[in-house]
Chains A and B, each alone.
Chain A
Amino acid sequence: MDMLELRGIDKVYRSRGKPPVHAVRALDMAVEKGEIVALLGSSGCGKTSTLRMIAGFEDVSAGSIALGGRRIHELPPARRKVAMAFEGYSLYPPLTVRENIAFALKSAQLSRSEVTRRVDEIARLVEIEDILDKYPRAISGGQQQRVSLARALVRDADLYLLDEPMGQLEPQLRAVLRGRIKSLLAERRMTAIFVTHDQTEASALADRIAVMEGGVLQQFASEKELKGRPANLFVASFIGEPPMNLLDAAVTPSNGGFHLSVGTDMVFDISGAGLDGAAAKALAGTPQVRIGIRPQKIAVGAGDVKVKVISNQWLGDQSHVAGDCGGRMLIAVTPGRVAARPGDIVPFALEPRHLHIFDGDGTCIRHAEMS
């Protein structure tokens, strides 16, 4: 059974004298028990609004939220059985770190020794044992963030909401904490939703990622699925580093298949196994498409696309080669070093089976072959 179910959620902010802001549109989402979900998107995409509607600090303009079979969108926050770590930490200034964390357990009515045990346990997990007796104002932003995280995770809740839970931490500690939190959540079968704009964090921590943009859920799938089968142009260009190469291509039918030509420099033959019925129908109906190819799928040093190198960077484990091909930029990522200087002409190989094809409004017509 789904632990959390969002159905037809709309959020409109109205303020006098200004046009209403439609922050979240027709959001449907179901999260299973024990699942960790990331809400990923740029700022203003509606991810934090969604989190706050689940917590109960914002009303839903339309739609319903169910948690563990209970309809919670009409309940006050206190009765939703939801724990949250806030982006701004929001610790209680007059209480010590230990009291801040223990405070979250107050309503659970545990014995004092049990509270101490649980606070110590969670403090060990996020490495704040040495600051337990300090006050929030005396500790750094990163420490406050970990306290805030501990205060949420220490509770027994049906759902854990984490708003940018590791934004302030140093990269090393972030990696360590991600691992620990992931195993804590998995071990206790805790259901969690966290908001982030960091893809690495989303893929490292989440089972599934919900990509949001302009208040609309673009795609809700595993990281592999998002990368391999992006539902639309936005997801394709948003997920992946460096971003997918996108090119405009003209469609011309040719003996049972199609030719996609990018200017006069590249022509791709899409036919046979790489073309199913629906894709063929869609391609037949549109003269112009966008095609995308992951930089990792472009082979450097062979092939019939000649590019003029703009930059060539060796990042220690891979090379990023950016080249110009008839006024279009292509980026290729290869695992080895490439001996090319800016200005050199280098052949790139782009295979038709690696192409993602999108129609005029950005919807995916054909996915690249999954490898």
Chain B
Amino acid sequence: MEHSSLAGRIFRGVALTLILIFFMFPIVWIFLMSFQTNEQILRIPPRILFEPTLANYEALISGQLRTAAGNLQISFMRNLFNSVVLSSAAVVLALLLGVPAAYAFARFKFRLGESIAFTLLSFRFAPPLLVLLPLSLYYQELGLNDTYFGIVWVYQLIALPLILWIVRGYFEDISPDIEHAYRLAGHSWREAFTRIAVPLAGPGIAAAGLLSFIFCWNNFVFALILASADKQPVTVGALAFVTASGIQYGQIAAAIVLSVTPTLLLALYAQRYLVEGLSLGAVKG
């Protein structure tokens, strides 16, 4: 970028700052809110400067929500734990099922192959609420209602198509001859899949896994309908902050900060790895 003039650089700096402020403002504001009491938050006009308090975080971590109407039990930490368990398990299961399936769709042409792949993608088109009613009836019959497994299973509607279609593209970009060369050297195709195809598609698999983790983490309706309090993730748990004595903005903000942190850290960590991995790619076919 040495050709750019001073004016150009200044302009770019200003533009970047404006865009950054525009996109980051809600997050920053929520971060600030999480250190304020409800009174401070609802003050008009709002102020940037305030006396920070850790009361919101204390309440969340201890599970005791003190409101004007009395003490309230909340299970935020439990919800956070549920979110981690449900999302990770859903992604792991989706990877176990989706990566081999993506490989099959990329490498082999078989009867109804495209139709099956498209059907899997169409899970993403259906409005979740439409699926939920019959699903909850079935779940009750099967005894899957309010179980971790049941929710992980229904999360496959979110994670599996995503992983399948992203990873399939990555597999298609790898020349099959690289695997052929490996197989000629005396290895089975299973080994060619695990030792050549999967590592080469690694960045794609990581990206797909990360994206589906975020989508699972942010899901609301599935768990709302299919799980009761002790299995619910943070997204549903946040409803508890709408109390009889008003909405607990401070705690909501703190809850958001806590629940965003794991995915944010994961994304930041994986982003570095993804960029590195993607530049490693560019396999000549």
- Chain A contacts to B: CB under 8 angstroms: 15, 55-57, 76-80, 82-84, 86-94, 103-104, 106-107, 136-137, 141, 144, 151, 155
Interface pair B177/A88, CB less than 8 Å apart: yes
With A15-B109, A92-B178, A92-B196 known as contacts, the answer to whether A103 contacts B185 (CB < 8 A) is yes
Which of A90, A103, A106 is the most central at the interface, judged by chain B CB atoms within 10 Å of its CB?
A90
B200 at the interface (CB under 8 A from A): yes
User: When the two chains form their complex, are residues A106 and B181 in contact, meaning their CB atoms are under 8 A apart?
Assistant: no
Q: Tell whether, in the assembled complex, residue B183 and residue A76 are in contact, meaning their CB atoms are under 8 Å apart.
A: yes
Q: Can you show 9 pairs from A to B with CB atoms below 8 A apart?
A: A55-B184, A76-B188, A77-B183, A78-B184, A78-B185, A82-B184, A88-B177, A137-B282, A137-B284
Bound complex: CA of A82 vs CA of B196, how far in Å? 20
* Residue with the highest number of chain A CB atoms closer than 10 Å, among B175, B176, B185, B188: B185
A90: which of B178, B186, B188, B281 is its contact (CB, 8 Å)?
B178
Closest to A83 in B: B184
A15 to B114, CA, bound (A): 13
- In the bound assembly, the distance between CA atoms of A239 and B88 in angstroms comes to 64
Q: Are B185 and A144 in contact (CB under 8 A)?
A: no
Which B residues lie within 8 Å of A87 (CB)? 177
Q: Which residues from 153 to 198 on chain B have a C-beta closer than 8 Å to any C-beta of chain A?
A: 175-178, 180-189, 196
User: Inside 8 A of A57's CB, which chain B residues have their CB?
Assistant: 176, 180
Q: Is A90 within 8 A of B185, CB to CB?
A: no
Question: Known contacts being A84-B180, A90-B175, A90-B177, is A106 close to B185, with CB within 8 Å?
Answer: yes
The answer on a CB contact under 8 Å between A88 and B185 is: no
Give, as a whole number of angstroms, the nearest-CB distance from A79 to chain B.
Answer: 8
Distance between Cα atoms of A103 and B185 in the complex (Å): 8
Q: B residues bordering A, Cβ < 8 Å? A: 109, 175-178, 180-189, 196, 199-200, 280-285
Q: Do residues A90 and B187 form an inter-chain contact, with CB atoms below 8 A?
A: no
Given known A-B contacts A15-B109, A86-B180, A88-B175, A93 and B283 have beta carbons under 8 A apart: yes
CB <8 Å contact, B285 and A88: yes
Q: Are the C-beta atoms of A86 and B186 separated by less than 8 Å? A: no
- Looking at chain B's contact residues, the main secondary structure is helix
A84 and B282 within 8 A (CB): no
Question: Nearest B residue to A55 by beta-carbon distance?
Answer: B184
Given contacts A91-B181, A93-B280, 20 further A-B contacts (CB under 8 A): A55-B180, A57-B180, A76-B188, A77-B183, A78-B184, A78-B187, A79-B186, A83-B184, A88-B175, A88-B177, A89-B284, A92-B181, A92-B196, A93-B200, A94-B199, A94-B200, A104-B185, A106-B185, A141-B284, A155-B185
CB <8 Å contact, A151 and B186 = no
- Whole-angstrom distance between the alpha carbons of A104 and B181 in the complex? 9
Q: Is B284 within 8 A of A84, CB to CB?
A: no
A107 contacts which chain B residues (CB < 8 A)?
Answer: 185-187
B189 touches A76 (CB 8 A): yes
Of all A-B residue pairs in the complex, the 10 with the closest CB atoms, nearest first, are A107-B186, A90-B177, A86-B177, A77-B183, A90-B178, A90-B181, A78-B186, A104-B185, A77-B184, A57-B180
Q: Contacts of A151 on B, CB cut-off 8 Å?
A: 181
A93 to B189, CA, bound (A): 18
Residues on the A chain within 8 Å of B280, using CB: 93-94, 137
Chain B contacts for A103, CB-based, 8 A: 185
Distance in Å: Cβ of B185 to nearest Cβ of chain A: 5
- B180, A90: Cβ atoms under 8 Å? yes
Contacts of B185 in A (CB 8 A): 78, 103-104, 106-107, 155
The interface centre, meaning the residue of B109, B186, B280 with most chain A CB atoms within 10 A of its CB, is B186
Inter-chain CA distance A141–B285, complex, in Å, is: 11
The answer for the CA separation of A314 and B177 in the assembled complex, in Å, is 45
* Shortest Cβ distance from A14 into B: residue: B109
Closest residue of chain A to B176, judged by CB? A57
B281 surroundings in chain A (CB, below 8 A)? 93
CB-CB under 8 A from B285, the residues of chain A are 88
Give CA–CA (A155, B200) in the complex, Å: 24
* B222 CB → nearest A CB, Å: 37
For B282, the closest partner residue in chain A by CB is: A137
In the bound complex, how far is the Cα of B176 from the Cα of A78, in angstroms? 15
* Distance, CA A84 to CA B181, complexed state (A): 7
Q: How far is the CA of A83 from the CA of B181 in the complex (A)?
A: 8
Q: How far is the CA of A347 from the CA of B281 in the complex (A)?
A: 63
Q: Smallest CB–CB gap between A240 and chain B, Å?
A: 33
Check A84 against B283 for contact (C-beta < 8 Å).
no
Neighbouring A residues of B178 by C-beta, 8 Å: 90-93
Minimum distance in angstroms from A20 CB to a CB of chain B? 14
Q: Are A77 and B284 CB-contacts (below 8 A) given A92-B196, A94-B199, A155-B185?
A: no
Q: Which residue of A lies closest to B179 (CB)?
A: A90
A256 vs B224: C-alpha distance in the bound complex, in angstroms?
102
For residue B203, give the distance in angstroms from its CB to the closest CB of chain A: 12
Residues on B with C-beta less than 8 A from A82 are 184
Residues on the A chain within 8 Å of B181, using CB: 84, 86, 90-92, 151
Chain A nearest CB, measured from B181 CB (Å): 5
Residue in B184, B282, B284 with the greatest tally of chain A CB atoms within 10 Å: B184
Chain B contacts for A137, CB-based, 8 A? 280, 282, 284
